[in-house]
Structure 1
Amino acid sequence: MITYETLVHRAGRLSFLWLYLLMIIMAITTFVEKRVGTDRVVETVYSSWWFAALWAGTALCGLAGLLAQRRPLHVLVLHVSFVVILCGAWLTSVTSVSGQIHLRIGQTAVCYTVDPADGGGERPLPAAVTLSGFEVREHPGTGAHADYVSQLELKDRSGQRREVTVSMNHVLHHGGMRFFQMSYDSDRKGSYLQVSVDPWGRPLTYAGYALLFLSLLWMLFSPRGKFRALLRHPALRRGLFVVVGLSAFSLRAAPTLSQAEADRFGRLLVAWNGRVCPMQTLARDFTVKLCGTDVYKGLSAEQVMTGWVFWGEEWDNEPLIRVKNAQLRNVLGVGRRAAFNDFFSPEGGYRLAPYLQDYYAGNRTALTDAAVEVDDRLQLVLALRQGKLWRVFPLADSVGRFEWYAPTDALPVGTDTLRAAFVSRVFSECYTAAMSGDGERLGRLFSALDAFQQEAASDASFPSAHSLKAERLYNSLPLPMWLSRLNLACGLLLMVGFLAQMARWQQRADGSARWSWNRLLHRVGMTLLAAGFVALTFYLGLRVEISGRLPLGNGYETMLAISWMLMAVSLALCRRFPVVVPMGLLLSGCFLLVSSLGQMNPQISPLEPVLGSPWLSAHVSLVMAAYALLSFTFACALVAGGLVFAKGGTSAVGVAAPVEALAVLSRVFLFSGIALLGGGIFVGAIWAGQSWGRCWGWDPKEVWALVSFLFYAVPIHDVSLHRFRRPMFYHAYMAAAFMTVVMTYWGVNYFLGGLHSYAG
């Protein structure tokens, strides 16, 4: 006869099976979504009754198993918070209503159009809404959008009027409804507002978030919690983890300016990539885009770019343009770097044209994707030669607003004759001076252009002198590549030494351990780690000074942020757990190397308006810190595996104690990482709720972050799942779990895509 206790125990075990089933379904669905589209998978999977039932069954079985056991209160609150969040999500799905309002300036609406998914039709608004004005705010001196602002007048049923503003990340709450800035008309005289009505689900969901944050903190600081018990574990108290511690060749390139002339040119200002920056930055981005590095045959980026401008025919034959795809190289008969002329036939035909036609006709293959990538580089060269990139002339329009113009642009009405003449002739005179080798005249022309820019400095928005100095220094420091090589080399040497010492682990007869190490190597490792941390902090500080925001806005910046956090954690723990020194060096070196491989865009640009929220900064910071800590669990697994391999198996003498100690240290990182990841995911949900009116949208990045969180959460339940008490099983699981982080970050960004993808 099955007892009540047995039934409850089986229900708890069943919840883990269903949880894995949910993870498998969500993971597979993200790949299906890439093929059939988001709407289709939302309708057939995420919004289906069986998917909701599976979540409900998992929650009920898990809660039943938990209530049958005597667990600390914070554990109960943590699990209850997930049930509350699920209930809130269910109430939102069945009771909330979303819709839109489209208003032209001066137009009034008394109803909003309900989305088809919520039944369609029209419903009344709590007040008459009139659009009194709309504005696209831009970053000064550029065309980059900073915010979208709708000025509204509300008139309620009593006749009372109120002026309000709705913009990105600034939500209007009125009459139980929330109004979000969604879009606008192309003539900027109309605005689209998102309307959300969710009186029951949203408060319950936010209550679940509050319980979650409280219980995660409680889990880390409770005296009765597992985390505090791990910190008191004998393996850590024994101080077990101690560590033993291209020369460039230059070939003659096509002609260009001298280094001094190019440097002088690089100090001019230009409107590029949504902001005003030194010409040096444009030259660096141009050169990196073409050949993958900011130096070519000993020439600086400024020399490369001016070479293309003033000596175009010679540079057309320079093998500078990177072609990464081997199939495309074979088809074109070129090497890894090709000349501009290699892409044109002797008759003048464009050799990439057939592949571009296939791409835009929807026949996408690896070959057509590679052709589009190379075409982007060639189009950048053409834009440079046509003068479209030379937005170096700050001029005021009829209302006194300054914009930056290229010599080929139509100048604003009212531009005086002398200024217009200077704009039209200065670059042709620069060309003449460069061709004749008259460096003195070229310098005077650059000075005249600088004076033209400085004349508008009091009216136009210029970067500060301090910011420009920081940017020029930043451009001259290829720190991520240097630091990645240093960290990887030093980390690898220290890790080899660590494994060699662990292989000589000795066990006394009384069971205690005897351990020896080279303190000098350990101190050298700590010194290198500290020096690298200071250098990376300085580098990130320069980027903050230049952009005016935290460096968390794209894939390149988040790679740097993870590296910084890894090094910070290693420094904080290295005295108690010296093994984290080689771990921190290796892991930070890997992340820095990835940031430098050319797949990520290092350009500094303004954030999209919707990203200018403090909730976003908190969300990204928490998630990146979590990934850094979870990376250490992967490193512990690799070290344990290396030790077992070196000693010839888990039963060898001197293996069990260090492997168990590594598992304890790994669990310290796991508890911290899972708490930060859970907090980061749900802070992101709050940000989404404030920006779009929905907390969760089943985007691939959201789905894989949830899969990672759930996958890492399972080993914490070692009371119910006894296998995780075995150190090597635990380490093997942690190594597999890290693949979900890899998929969340790189797989989504560079394969699946989606709203959260950094690849673009």
Structure 2
Amino acid sequence: MKKIYNILFSTRLTAILFVVFGAAMGIATFIENDYGTQASKALVYNSWWFQLTMLIFVGNFIGNIFRYRLLRKEKISVLMFHLAFIVIIVGAAITRYISYEAIMPIQEGETTNLMLSEKTTLNVHVDDGNEAREINKLYYFTPEIGSETRFIPMVSKFFNFLRGGNNFSLKADFRDKPVTVNYVSFLPNAFEKFEEDTSGEEFLHFVESGGGGRHDHYIKKGEVANIHNALVAFENQTEGAVNIFTENDTLRIKSPFEGNYMVMATQATGTIVKDSVQVFNLRALHNIGSLQFVVPEKGIKGKLVEVSSENKEEHPADKLTIEVVTKNDKKIVDLYGYKYAATPPEMFSMDGLNFRISYGAKQLQLPFSIKLNDFQLDRYPGSNSPKSYASEVTVMDNGENFDFRVFMNNILIHKGYKFFQSSYTITDEYEETHLSVNHDAVGTWVTYLGYSLLYTGLIMILFSKTSRFADLRRMLNKIKKKKEALTILILMFSGLTFAQGSHIQHGMSKVQVDSTLTAQKVSVEHAQRFGSLIIQDENGRMKPVNTFTSELLRKVSKKDTYNGMNANQVAVSMVTNPRIWMSVPFIYVKSANTKLRDILGVPEDQEYLRLSDMFTDRGEYKLSQEVEKAYKKKIKNKFEESVLNVDGRVTLLYQAIINGSIFKFFPLQNEENNKWFSYVEHKLAGFTGTDSLYVANIIPLYSGSLKLATSKKDYSKANEFLESIHKYQHKFGGAVMPSDRKVELEIFYNKYDIFKSLFMYYMYGALFLFIVVMVQIFNGSTLVNKLVKAGIFIIAGLFIYHTIGLGIRWYISGHAPWSNGYESMIYIAWATMLFGLLFGKKSALTVAATTFVTSMILMIAHWNWMDPSIGTLVPVLDSYWLMIHVAIIVASYGPFTIGMILGLISLVLFAITTKNNKRKIDLAIKEITVINEMSITIGLIMLTIGNFLGGMWANESWGRYWGWDPKETWALVSIMVYAFVLHMRIVPGLRSRFTFNMVAVFAYTTILMTYLGVNHLLSGLHSYATGDAAPIPNEIWGWLIVSAIISILAYIKYKKYYKKPSSRDLKK
């Protein structure tokens, strides 16, 4: 018994649980990516062994509370956060087994008390006409896992084996009549796909574009299909249907509606006469009634087979096939269903019994009703992107009625139920809100109690005089008194060095183009006036022309200027003389992409291409086929990624200089969504009277005035036109225009490009501090000491400049500057520098190393795959929670980055140890290791608090404080890994400083996965997740290889000079 006690409550088991729990969650995110959310729940999150792991965790925590006497007053902080995890797991169990979620769809004006469950159940109803019996069972199914030898499929198979697979068998006895329901198969996101087969039946391939997208239908010979509420019949003449049939070996059509068609090859047109038999034209675009369709070929032979779709939104229903067995009969039944949707049951009679069987969401009832009075949707000005949406509802509860407005982050709570604004559906016929319903009052409050204990305990660790963190501070002060440690700096760095429908015009040479642009270039002062005009981008953001053109230059050419012209001058040239930009070599294409150049027919050494290079003489886009292929593929190779990147640059430039539609200068008076338009759109936009004349002519008049201005250097008339446009914007678009102060500040921000220039400034500061610290080793004079302080002062000044830059971006954008990939990178750099300066009180080396890391982070932020442009927020991110949750989590990456760098430095020190310098290096390693542990402790506290605050945000926004989204899951994986790192000191065999620093280096891979990997390798809900798989960058592989080599070299020296012999070795 004592042996079992020692195992269950040992620190070794604690360490194993951290690793197993973290690894299981990490693997589950890849299972979800490959096989779907339901599979990840079935194989991991809801599996018996995963829940057993949590139960053992709780027991281990409780045992260690007594084993390490955490009930003492001086251990209260450690006790609190250990108790917190126990309480959180208990709260999660209540939520898992007692509570439930649902969706409540309500159309405007409708009153209902019905909702649809999140969990999918198998519902079996049996009766014999007199008596009935019903069975409801919750199941999680997984798709068929292939025989691949990759890691994830193999692990998935093993997990599936542990749970017994999808197999189930429901048995019941109905009046001595045995009934059994057996599992047969499961197909997620099922849809019918046509496969050609010469021995199959004949089908009509019917292609229509309802809902704005292409849809392929295959209508079997002799059948009638309902397509968007319109009947289409093939070889089965049916009244009220569009009939397509064969007569005298010719395909014909008879329609109940008038229509027309256009033969696409010849552009010939014709009409469809109602109720008249006519020859049917293949490969012609038909408009009949509500249908717009093409039939590309005659009837083809084949068959429809059901497969699993990658498009889960278009094909949400899963197919569950079961076998129903009675005493004398059996039947195979196909069921379709998915969460939040009630599907019609399959009804049949067999062996004297009546069956009604369904699979999918369960319909639940509220003890009160809700009426939707009004659904409100606000969009960003001039955009279809939703800014916010809300539901005005009335709660009806036995005469006690009250009104409430439900919107994102503003929830309705009544009788233990919480209602959240989830989504909506808007059609021409109705508006419908989707309220997310959560019934988890007890589980939520228990979990929140755990969160409170957790936050309090973690914060107390930082300030308690009896905590491990306080011990580390005292240890660091003792080490600092030993001045010998400083001499190691020269040893560290002695061996390290850091070390761009009309016919396309071809023919103008670059010299001619540049000469023309130079001759027409306006003055910097005038261009600055033009750059301060406001335009509305495609997402509805109002910004200066200067910002737009700066973004266009960076996206298209990867430069900030062109041929001596700044962004404002380029903007004037594009608006007033767009055609010449067809011949400007402006579109950047990577030099290694020779395949793309071959397709375009340009020289392999031509780095920048002209827009005219992208089109044939007939105006056909040369990349159209390659773009279409690339868009269809989920996992894209490097060539396909480059095709899409170049296509994006071409599209942006085309919109700017061919049709000018992207320069939206002009607000339309009384436009309900405050949409602005370009001058070429004035007819379609609906401008009338003098406004129409003004919008149509002001840009051409302005262009004409520039010819006089550039020749005579007199911009007075041109300035008058710009002032006129500025006044027009204020008169009709003032409600959405940014203030003049904000415009000036944004132009200032663009001009100085604060974060891009900071990269080099931080680098220079880091090198300067490294040099003076090394000089200080040999000469501790007052001057040198002052230079060290000056270096830190300079870096602190750069940090203040960094802070000001973040503040300016916050003010300009109107939201906290950590809402997308680029913003989070510059914020991580800021947080890293902040903690480096805080630890710099103890170690100038830490400041130098941190400054170097900060410069690297800012450099990465300005690589091509990061977009520095300021954008708008989706509604769920427009919340104060963004400032709290995201700020804390992303800031935690700073201490973890410092921990990784200090770990590498320690390993280098181990690797260069000799017999003569061991004493000095040992002191330096002790100092760095203590700082490293302090840094990781702070990072872990921040990441833990930030991640669980994210749970509170989710609960307050859509009613679920934990949903196993890959981003939050990998944050929890990181917490588990770094908790393991900090617990290593109490685990026998893992207590050495070498092991700690080495694991601290490689633990950083979980932070990289949390921050970057989830966005590029997995699909998730978070703001810059892409959902498309991407390769791991070579830089990360390089870092891992170098770290591994350094670790091996360090271990050799560690084993020789530092490792203490074990008791077994001593006996030998």
Superposed pair shares fold, TM > 0.5: yes
1:52 offset after TM fit, Å?
2.1
Q: State the distance in 2 between where 1:291 and 1:128 align.
A: 58
Q: Deviation of residue 50 (structure 1)?
A: 2.5
TM-superposed CA distance for 1:734, in Å, is 1.0
1:511-565 per-residue CA deviation (whole Å, 9 max, x = no partner) reads: xxx9999424412321221221121122122112212232121121122222222
Aligned residue identity for 1:448:
S
Q: Distance in 1 between matches of 2:721 and 2:99?
A: 64
1:693 paired with 2:959, answer: yes
- Kept in 1, the 8 Å contact 2:18–2:980? The answer is no
Any conservation in 1 of the 2:551–2:869 contact (CA below 8 Å)? yes
The corresponding residue for 2:667 is 394
What amino acid does structure 2 have at the position aligned with 1:726? Answer: S
The aligned residue for residue 165 of structure 1 is 405
- 3-state DSSP of counterpart to 2:737: coil
How many Å apart are 1:287 and its aligned residue?
1.2
- Greater Cα shift, 46-55 or 581-590: 46-55
Map 1:202-351 → 2, pairs under 5 A: 202-233=444-475, 234-236=477-479, 238=481, 252=514, 255=517, 257-258=521-522, 259-272=524-537, 273-324=539-590, 326-327=592-593, 328-329=595-596, 331-332=598-599, 333-334=603-604, 335-346=606-617, 348-351=619-622
Aligned equivalents of 2:51, 2:607: Cα separation in 1? 51
1:130 paired residue number:
371
Greater helix share, 1 or 2?
Answer: 1
Q: Cα deviation per residue 1:655-678 (whole Å; 9 max; x = unaligned)? A: 111101111111111221111111
CA distance in 1, matches of 2:563, 2:30: 43
Is 1:418 equivalent to 2:658 in the alignment?
Answer: no
Q: Which has the larger radius of gyration?
A: 2
Q: Give the structure 2 partner of residue 92 of structure 1.
A: 95
Correspondence for 1:445 among 699, 707, 721: 721
Contact 2:103–2:117 (Cα < 8 Å) also in 1: yes
Residue 620 of structure 1 is aligned with which of 878, 886, 892?
Answer: 886
Deviates more, 1:254-263 or 1:607-616: 254-263
Counterparts of 1:16-55 in structure 2 under 5 Å?
16-55=15-54
- Taking structure 2 as the reference length, the TM-score comes to 0.65
Q: For residue 432 of structure 1, report the CA deviation from its aligned partner.
A: 4.1
After superposition, give the CA deviation of every residue in 1:138-186 in whole Å (9 maximum; x if it has no partner): 45676653321110011102x1220101001111111211111111223
Q: Alignment partner of 2:675: what SS?
A: strand
- AA matched with 2:794: L
Contact 2:682 2:695 in 1 (8 A): no
Which residue, 367, 372, 383 being the options, matches 2:644?
Answer: 372
Give the structure 2 partner of residue 491 of structure 1.
766
Give the TM-score normalised by structure 1.
0.90
Aligned pair count reads 743
Over the matched positions of the two proteins, sequence identity in percent amounts to: 27
Structure 2 gaps of 5+ residues are 122-137, 139-360, 494-509, 1027-1068
Look up the SS of the partner of 2:828 in the other structure: helix
* Cα distance change on mapping 1:706 and 1:432 into 2, 3 Å: same
8 Å CA contact retained: 1:113, 1:121? yes
Asked whether the equivalents of residues 8 and 65 of structure 1 are also in contact (C-alpha less than 8 Å), the reply is no
1:508 match:
none
Answer 1 or 2: which has greater strand percent: 2
Residue 437 of structure 2 aligns to a residue whose secondary structure is strand
Give the counterpart letter for 1:447 in structure 2.
E
Match of 2:1038 in 1: none
Structure 1 counterpart of 2:441: 199
Question: Which residue does the alignment assign to 2:739?
Answer: 464
Q: Per-residue CA shift, 1:17-48, capped at 9, x if unaligned?
A: 23212222322333343333334323332232
Aligned-partner Cα distance in 1 for 2:629–2:738: 44
Q: How does 1:406-555 map to 2 (within 5 A)?
A: 406-409=678-681, 415-434=687-706, 441-456=717-732, 460-495=735-770, 498=773, 518-555=784-821
Alpha carbons of 1:361 and 1:564: their partners in 2 closer, same or farther (altered >3 Å)?
A: closer
**Mapped partners of 1:708, 1:98: distance in 2:** 28
- Distance in 1, matches of 2:598 and 2:47, equals 47
State how far apart, in whole Å, the 2-side matches of 1:117 and 1:494 are: 62
> Do the aligned partners of 1:144 and 1:606 also contact (CA within 8 Å) in 2?
no
State the partner residue of 1:63. Answer: 62
Greater displacement, 651-660 / 220-229? 651-660
Equivalent residues of 1:140, 1:460 under 8 A apart: no
Q: Could you tell which deviates more after superposition, 471-480 or 197-206?
A: 197-206
Aligned twin of 2:655: 383
Name the aligned partner's letter for residue 652 of structure 1: K
Identify if the C-alpha distance between structure 1 residues 412 and 346 changes in structure 2 by more than 3 Å, giving closer, same or farther: closer
Q: How many angstroms does 1:471 deviate by?
A: 1.0
SS of the residue corresponding to residue 543 of structure 2 reads: strand
- Which deviates further from its counterpart, 209-218 or 390-399? 390-399
Deviations 1:257-285 (A, max 9, x none): 32333222111111124322211111111
SS of aligned partner of 2:403 = strand
498 and 706 in structure 1: CA distance in 2 versus 1, 3 angstrom threshold: farther
Shift of 1:82: 1.2
- Alpha-carbon distance in 1 for matches of 2:66, 2:622: 69
What SS class does the counterpart of residue 224 from structure 1 fall into?
coil
CA distance in 1, matches of 2:561, 2:92: 53
Distance 1:329 1:642 in 2: 44
SS in 2 for 1:146: strand
| Alpha-carbon contact 1:135-1:150 (below 8 Å) kept | yes
Change in CA separation of 1:235 and 1:590 when aligned onto 2, cut-off 3 Å? farther
The C-alpha deviation readout for 1:58-88, integer Å capped at 9, x for no partner, is 3323433443232323323322211221222
TM-aligned CA distance change 1:521 to 1:74, over 3 Å? same
**For 1:125 and 1:491, how far apart are their aligned partners in 2?**
63
Distance in structure 2 (CA, Å) of the matches to 1:668 and 1:318: 55
Structure 1 match to 2:420: 180
Distance 1:76 1:561 in 2: 33
Higher relative contact order (CA 8 A, sep 6+): 1
> 1:200-256: CA deviations, max 9, x gaps?
3222211211111121122222222101111111445528686899xxxx9957615
Q: Is the Cα contact below 8 Å between 2:745 and 2:808 reproduced in 1? A: yes
- CA deviations over 1:702-747 (Å, ceiling 9, x no partner): 1221111111111322453144542222111111112221221122
Deviation at 1:628, TM superposition (A): 1.1
User: Contact 1:397–1:413 at 8 Å: present in 2 too?
Assistant: no
The counterpart of 2:860, out of the listed 594, 597, 619, is: 594
Structure 1 gaps, min length 5? 506-513
Residue 42 and residue 495 in structure 1: after superposition, are their counterparts in 2 closer, same or farther (change >3 A)? Answer: farther
Deviates more, 1:78-87 or 1:185-194: 185-194
- In 1, the alpha carbon distance for the partners of 2:431 and 2:952 equals 31
Describe the shift of the 1:126–1:337 C-alpha distance in structure 2 as closer, same or farther (beyond 3 A).
farther
Tell me by how many angstroms 1:651 deviates. Answer: 7.3
CA distance in 2, matches of 1:127, 1:500: 78
**Alpha carbons 2:90, 2:446 under 8 Å: kept:** yes
